Structure 1
Amino acid sequence: MDKHFINILYVDDEVHNLNAFKASFRRTFNVFTAESAKEAMGILETQQMHIIVSDQRMPVTTGVEFLQSIIPLYPDPIRILLTGYADISAVIDAINKGQVYLYITKPWQENELRQNLERAFEIFSLRKENKRLTEQLLIVNEQLEFMFRQKLIS
């Protein structure tokens, strides 16, 4: 699988974390970075993302708040929460409110995070294919119902 077309947005207020993430994954994935939720929203308006990784502890908006806020506008990207703190309430909120696929603690292990990003994209692809097949099934069902009604009339 050519992973270089996979768009990943990483949101973190710490620039050195953004640089480390980009340096680690820019050769494998198409990496976008943002220092705030506001900056991330600007990127989301212009780029389709497959995966969004967000730090939990940021000054204005927490990672969970950001991930929750994008669901109505951008429901498809797989969401991952990254944090250096073991905060069980953040984990619960991430799952319940932010619909987070995965919770990862800092510092991340590069190989492990790469594998998790690849799995997240697999989930993204499977959901997209499932949606496409469901839409096709609905169309075929409508056609069958129409044919059945035509048969009853004649």
Structure 2
Amino acid sequence: MMSEMNQRKIKILYVDDEEINLQAFRSTFKKIFDLFLAGSANEARKILTDHEVDIIIADQRMPSETGLNFFTSISSKYPEPIRILLTAYTDMHLVTEAVEKKLIYHYLTKPWDEAYFKNIIENAYESYFLRRQNKFLEKQLKEAREQLETLSKQIELS
């Protein structure tokens, strides 16, 4: 099961209104992750309609929409990807509330540490992968129970 997890690059959507941050993220992680970069929440929404991603990282402070507002707006349509908030400002009440409501998996402050950021991304992907694997196994279990019920009814009738 875990070998399946390591067979492909993690697909990340990174949303930040500052081009320098987008380029820094790209140059740091382009060799190890499959990256999609967006300069706004609306651009990120367009990417999400065309591409499946595992993790979405968004800057909190963007001019047209905050990262948390963006996450709130997409969470019902795209519940699967793990969401990470990136902020230079720490409003701990807001961040704590977002974590408690399971709106975000984790938050990081700017400037970010490359090794720590990579570790958070890998841990987030492990959580993403395990949740998907769990849903798959639950579906298989449900199907097996239904088959068992059908067989049981057939035995009762004979």
1:132 alignment partner, one of 136, 140, 151:
136
Runs of 4+ in structure 1 over 4 Å off: none
Percent identical: 46
Matched, 1:71 2:114: no
2:37 corresponds in structure 1 to: 33
2:146 corresponds in structure 1 to: 142
1:80 alignment partner, one of 80, 84, 87:
84
The CA deviation string for residues 92-145 of structure 1, in whole angstroms up to 9 with x for no partner, is: 342245621101111100000001111111111111111110000000000011
Separation (CA, whole Å) in 2 of partners of 1:36 and 1:94 = 20
TM-score where L is the length of structure 2: 0.91
The CA deviation string for residues 11-44 of structure 1, in whole angstroms up to 9 with x for no partner, is: 0111111111111100110111111110000000
> 1:71: how far off?
1.2
Matched, 1:42 2:46: yes
1:6 corresponds in structure 2 to: 10
Separation (CA, whole Å) in 1 of partners of 2:94 and 2:28 = 26
Separation (CA, whole Å) in 1 of partners of 2:95 and 2:156 = 56
Counterpart code for 1:94: A
- Aligned-residue CA RMSD (Å): 1.3
1:121 corresponds in structure 2 to: 125
Q: Where in structure 2 are there 5+ consecutive unaligned residues?
A: 1-5
Separation (CA, whole Å) in 2 of partners of 1:7 and 1:93 = 26
Secondary structure, aligned partner of 1:59: coil
Separation (CA, whole Å) in 1 of partners of 2:18 and 2:82 = 22
